[in-house]
Structure 1
């Protein structure tokens, strides 16, 4: 709070603003300051309201020690000045007796006698005020359940009583009844009891999130895994990072541990690290820590005790170290509660949870499948496993020779040998073989650098690839291997030419660079003597590839023939020397060149011939890549079924080879597109996420996040809102996202999709907060005002839906300012019209002036669009604006103006034709005009004439569906006549 309120009006405004803040330290500190400010006015009313806000902040901010102190002040004020408490304040006071009872149970240092004494006072106060005792018996039952004694009697005394105005909300009471059945071992009965809350029929501030956390394991035990998954996603999001729901977070961690989702559990633990420090309630701590321990115990049992884990602040933790710390603290808390209560209830409940065996081997919880090593903070990316990894020679000499032999023919298993050699050479004690067949150490180092350069190029890290190739070439020169040096320098030329240039003439610069690179390669080839056949074939392949990339960049027909000429040189040479891999490479390049040139049928013919050759002569590892290309060609020919067959087969065969042999990222991406064309979006979603996972394993994080972004949008389009949000939540807590290392626009897109998903999921408060934040950030995007206009416009509409029209006006003004730099006619028009509708609908006549101001802006946008000859993709901006004038005036009671505007809209639309281009829009406009004229202006005769004529017109044109609302309205008008 910047300045203290100077008047009671300012105080109440500050209280309202604080009420919009999430629970936590900021809200609590502000509430404390507002109590100090309220005391200065010397009036009981403002002080009572400020104290109520402070007690709420303590209660839901998990500070139970402070809540009773504030309530004591309120109770004293009530005893001293009962007339200061109107009906609302009196209700609040008696309601919060339950809050105090709850707070006292949370504190093991409070004697059991004091808890019973408080319940006695609650009963006496209720009886004195002539209030029903059901709330008192509810607190007596909760104390009995906490202690673990006399629960059946206490439950009956509470549950059999009629509810009163001061009873806990129905959702909370439902949860208590269901938990009673759970403790009795009746899973099915408990789930039936939970159902009204889980189905959304009953809710409150903490429900259904609390009930969801308790229902997770019973659902698993009764076999309803889909519902358990659904409730995990929705329930966790509602309680994450919330100190007052830390126990529920612990139950979600436990659920992850018992369903084979230990990696997600560690991820969620990291996201909730604040709870180790911010939960001031010992009982909530106990529940949270027990859930944490269940997770850590499981991870350690799986052999991952040394993984990093998020724990108490001030030091770094391993899973094993944090588990020991958590176990000690939780055991101590359980012992303290049991000592206070004189039972072993809490130690017994802890033991039951910790002894529970996993309920499922694996339940797929989110779209992002992760393993334990991938979640580890600051841990290196896990190396992808390969099926039946080939054995490498034990002898160092044999290993080096084998690596070179495999590399000469391009065999993918060379990677395994190089990886082993890289590890051996890096050892300080490495001793190089003294063998002429192996050559000097400098040659081996050159081999390893060249292999590393190829891997960098495969990741499109062209600058690194070029530098590594140049370094390898220099070492080959030192080793007396000029032919290998020439091949490396040729690779460096291509890598350098592929570095994306910047500027408006980037394409021309790249084409020139590739032309120069090819000329340099030809000279290098001609000037290098004593090339072995495999080395000369590599130079020919590089020459052909360089020209093929140039053609792909330019699309110039003049560049086609030079590519084919180089390919023919390669093919002839490779055939003469029986280099099967290079023959295949030449044929693949030829097919690709036909495809790039636009001759897809010939490209397919070439690919078919290559596939036949590969299946007969090999090399087998070229099959996945070739099938992948044929699949893409089939997509181009619009044969999605054939494409699906080829791509699926390519993916299946790729699994037979080391992970980097085939670009499985591309295969999954192509399969995702194919599945969308085949109407299989769920399968497409799986391929998108697998493509992203493959990119992550390769270290291509930007590409991975782009694929995940597409997956999130697709999941939202499919209505899988919680899947979308869970995926994005997982991505947005990645270290490089949090630290700002990832591209800020890509992160903004992820957040924007998440905000839209929150809105779709009707979490308007969270959606609004995210949209407002994005609008503020995008205001600085001077290079992309159009995106800022879009975000600000969406923000404005969401604020309008929440009734915050002043903030909506400010947001839409930002959008309009950005629109002047990069026009967004249709989007801004839609936004302004929607804001006008919302304000008129919510505020009626009081909001008409401001609503009309929005429409005036929309009119200016329509004029600009007309002047710019802009054609809307949807409704005409002019007719849509006229219709909205009609609707807004109707909401505000200005019916004559509304009818005039609707008639104008109908004139702009024109009579519908047989095509369904605007029949629905026209019919709706007629319907609203008929309602205004017949119902509100009470002129049924002309309204019926209008409606009957429209029905006849639409029926004759075959638009029978559009006539139904008109027929219903006409019938109503005749009935009321």
Structure 2
């Protein structure tokens, strides 16, 4: 707290601000300081409010040892100065007797007799105050259940009583009744009792998150796996990183362990690492640690005990090491509770959880399903199921020769051979064979460098690739292999031309670099020593590739013919020497050139001929990529069904080869786009996530995060809000994201999508925090003020929804300032109008001035758009503004102004008609404007006759145009006006 409050007004303001903070150390420390400040005022009411805030901070900050101490001060104040407590404060005081009972129960050092004595105190106080005893019997039942006594009588004494104003909320009581049946082994009955909470009909601060965590396993045991998955996603978000709900987090970890989602469990454990140090409630600790141990025990039993795990701060943990630590702590806690209670209940319950067998082998919980192998450092990627891994010869000379032969063919299995050779050559005890067929070690090192350069180029690391190729060329020279050195230098030329220059001027500079590279390639070719046919074909392919890349960069029609000339030369040479891979490559280049020039039918014809050849003569591994190209061509020709067939077949054939060698990720990405054209978004979502995960496994992290970002946006568009949030939480927790190694704008886009998903999921507080952070960061994006304008505008709307119109005004001003540099007319106008509506709706006449100020800004944006010649897709900005003036004035009670604005909106809209674009949408907007004008005129201005004339004319017009649905609200309003008249 920067400065202590100097007046009680400042104290109350500080208390309100602290109430908006999340529970945790910051809120608790501030509450302690506010109690110190309140003690300086001669105002016992202010002190009571400060003490109540402090007790709440301790209770929900998982500090049960301190909560009863604060309550004792409150109780003393009540006994000494009962008049200080008005009805509301008195209610809060008696409510919190239950908080103290819960706190004492959570502390094993408090004797059982003291717990019973406190309940007696509660009963006596309630009886003296004339309050119903149902809350007391509820606490008596909870104590019996905690101790492990027979709860039948205690349950009936509580559950059979009529609820009072001091009873726990409906949601909390539902949870306790359901847990009673769950303890008796009746899953079905417990789920029936829980349904109002699980369905969202009853809720409170801790519900439904608490109930969800307990209901997950009963849902699985009764076969409701989809429901369990759905509730896990939503429920976990409601309790993560929350010290007072650490037990709930532990049950989500247990759920992951029992459904084949151990990797997700470790991910969630890492996200909640702070709970090891922030949970000061022994009972919550026991619950949390037991859930952690269930997860770690499962991971270790699967042979992954050496995996890293997130545990107590201050040291590095493995799964096995953390499990041993957690087991010791949890066993000690259970023993302490049992010693206090005189039973074995907590040890028995803990053992039952640890002894549970997995309920499912695999349940896909998120859009990013991963196994323990995926999170194992340097874990090898499993070979596709449709094809066994290639046999790698063990004798070293045979392995080297096979790798080189496969490399000449462009065969995907060369990867495995080079990987094996790399591990052998880098070993300390490596001895190079003295074999003339293999050649010297320097030649093999050159081969490995060239292969590494090729992989770098595939990941668009062109500068790295160019450097590696140059290094390989030098080694080839040293090895007496000048022809191979020429090829390596040729590859370096193309890679260097593809690498973006620091001060390049976009496509023109790249086209110029590729022109120069092609000229250098021609000279290299002319000056090259004796080349084998394979080597000469490679050089010809590189020449054609350079010109193809130039065409792609420039889009110039004049660059088409040179590419086709080089391709013809390559094709003729490869055909003459029967080099199948290069024949295929030439035809692919030709088809791509036709496509780039806009002649898609010619490209399809070329690909059709190539597919016929590949099916007859091979190479078979070219089929997936070729089918992928034809699929993209069909998509360009608006034939999504044919595209889907090609891409699906390409994906089927790709299963027989290493994914990165045949472009499996690209096939999934193209299929996702095709599925969207076919109106199959769920299928598109599956392909997007598979594309992303393949890119991630093969090191293409930027492509992977882009694909995952698209998947997140699509899941949000589909209404799968929790899927979207869970996916983005997983991505944003990746080490390179947390370390700031990924492109900051890409990360910002992921966070923006997450913030929108939080808003859609009605987590307004979390969404506003994220939007505000993004708005602050994007303010420094001098190269992209338009994005800042939109982020600031969306932030303003969220602040408006929360009723914080002062902060909303500041954010809107930021948006307007950025908009002046990079206009976003339609989007910014919409945000300003929404802010005006929110302020008038929430504040009525008191908010009219602020609302009209927002509309004035929207009016200036509309004027700017008009001057710039900007045209909207639907109704004009002026029309939308007039309509909003009508709504805002109506909310504020300025009905004459509201009617005048709506009349203007109707005039600007014009009557609907069949000749209008978007006739259905237009009719709907016009009908709503008529309805609101009729309500203002007929109800609030009490002029039913002109209002009815307006409504009847509109109904007749819409009926004649064939829009019966749009007439329903109008006829309903007309009927109401006639009844009232």
TM-score, with length taken from structure 1: 0.99
SS in 2 for 1:239: coil
Query: 1:899·1:929 contact (CA, 8 Å) conserved in 2?
Result: yes
Q: How does 1:718-867 map to 2 (within 5 A)?
A: 718-867=718-867
Note if 1:41 corresponds to 2:45. Answer: no
Matches of 2:735 and 2:414, distance apart in 1: 34
What is the distance in 2 between the residues matched to 1:132 and 1:479?
95
Query: Aligned partners of 2:622, 2:823: CA distance in 1, in Å?
Result: 49
Shift of 1:502: 5.2
* Offset at residue 445 of structure 1 (A): 0.3
Q: Partner of 1:202 in structure 2?
A: 202
Deviates more, 1:173-182 or 1:874-883: 874-883
Measured in 2, the distance between the counterparts of 1:105 and 1:458 equals: 61
Q: Which residue of 2 aligns with 1:940?
A: 944
1:674-728, Cα deviation, whole Å (9 max, x unpaired): 1111111001001111111011111111111111110000000000000000001
Of the three residues 966, 969, 972, the one matched with 1:968 is 972
Structure 2: segments with no counterpart, 5+ residues? none
Q: Which residue is equivalent to 1:80?
A: 80
SS in structure 1 at match of 2:391: coil
CA gap 1:503/1:919 in 2 versus in 1, 3 angstroms: farther
- Cα displacement (A) at 1:947: 1.8
Cα shift at 1:588: 1.3
Q: Distance in 2 between matches of 1:976 and 1:135?
A: 48
Q: Deviations over 1:753-781 (max 9, x none)?
A: 11111111111111111111111111111
1:649 aligns with 2:649: yes
Q: Residue 957 of structure 1: CA displacement?
A: 2.7
Q: Are residue 899 (structure 1) and residue 899 (structure 2) matched?
A: yes
User: 2:303 corresponds to which residue?
Assistant: 303
- Pick the aligned partner of 1:956 from 934, 944, 960: 960
Q: What pairs up with 1:253-264 in 2 under 5 angstroms?
A: 253-264=253-264
The equivalent residue for 1:927 is 931
Are the counterparts in 2 of residues 384 and 659 from structure 1 also a CA contact under 8 Å?
no
- 2:659/2:665 contact within 8 Å kept: no
CA distance in 2, matches of 1:14, 1:114: 36
Stretch deviating more after TM superposition (683-692 or 859-868): 859-868
Matched residue, 2:66: 66
Q: Is 1:358–2:358 an aligned residue pair?
A: yes
Question: Is 1:322 aligned to 2:322, yes or no?
Answer: yes
Structure 1 position 855, deviation (Å): 1.4
CA distance in 2, matches of 1:574, 1:908: 68
Contact persistence 1:212–1:235 (CA under 8 A): yes
Q: Structure 1 residue 743: deviation in Å?
A: 1.2
For structure 1, which segment, 210-219 or 861-870, has the greater mean C-alpha deviation from structure 2 after superposition?
861-870
* Alignment CA distance shift 1:53-1:869 (3 Å): same
Q: What is the distance in 1 between the residues matched to 2:768 and 2:593? A: 50
Please name the residue that 2:662 is paired with.
662
Task: Indicate the residue corresponding to 1:548 in structure 2.
Answer: 548
Partner of 2:346: 346
Residue 605 of structure 1 and its aligned partner are, at CA, apart by 1.2
1:631–1:647 CA contact under 8 A, matched in 2: yes
CA contact (8 A) 1:267 1:375 kept: no
**Cα drift, residue 752 of structure 1:** 0.9
Runs of 4+ in 1 over 6 A off after TM superposition: none
Moved more, 885-894 or 788-797: 885-894
| 2:378 corresponding residue in structure 1 | 380
String of CA shifts for 1:71-97, please: whole Å, max 9, x gaps: 111111111111111111111111111
| Mapped partners of 1:64, 1:686: distance in 2 | 46
How far has the Cα of 1:940 moved from its partner? 1.2
Mapped to 1, the partners of 2:800 and 2:123 lie a distance apart of 46
Residue equivalent to 1:499: 499
Contact kept? 1:955, 1:963, Cα under 8 Å: yes
Q: CA RMSD in A?
A: 1.2
| Other structure's SS at 1:393 match | coil
Shift of residue 852, structure 1, vs aligned partner: 1.3
Aligned pairs for 1:700-711 (under 5 A) are: 700-711=700-711
The aligned runs of 1:265-280 (5 Å cut-off) are: 265-280=265-280
CA distance in 1, matches of 2:943, 2:658: 79
Once the two structures are TM-superposed, the CA of residue 384 in structure 1 deviates from its matched residue by 4.5
Which residue number in structure 2 is paired with residue 102 of structure 1? Answer: 102
Give the Cα separation in 2 of the matches to 1:855 and 1:495: 54
Secondary structure of the 1:953 match is helix
Between 266-275 and 40-49, report the one with greater CA deviation. 40-49
Q: Distance in 1 between matches of 2:403 and 2:819?
A: 60
Contact 1:412 1:657 in 2 (8 A): yes
1:403 and 2:440 equivalent?
A: no
Compute the displacement of 1:504 (Å). 7.1
> Which whole-Å CA distance do the structure 2 matches of 1:57 and 1:874 have between them?
50
Indicate if the aligned counterparts of 2:668 and 2:687 stay in contact, CA closer than 8 A: yes
Query: What is the rounded CA distance, in whole Å, between the counterparts of 1:910 and 1:412 in structure 2?
Result: 65
Other structure's SS at 2:238 match: helix
For 2:106 and 2:380, the matched residues in 1 are separated by 43
The answer (yes or no) to whether the contact 1:264–1:375 under 8 Å persists in 2 is no
Report the Cα offset of residue 433 of structure 1.
0.4
Q: What TM-score do the two structures reach when normalised by structure 2?
A: 0.98
Shift, 1:929, TM fit: 1.4
Shift of 1:374: 3.1
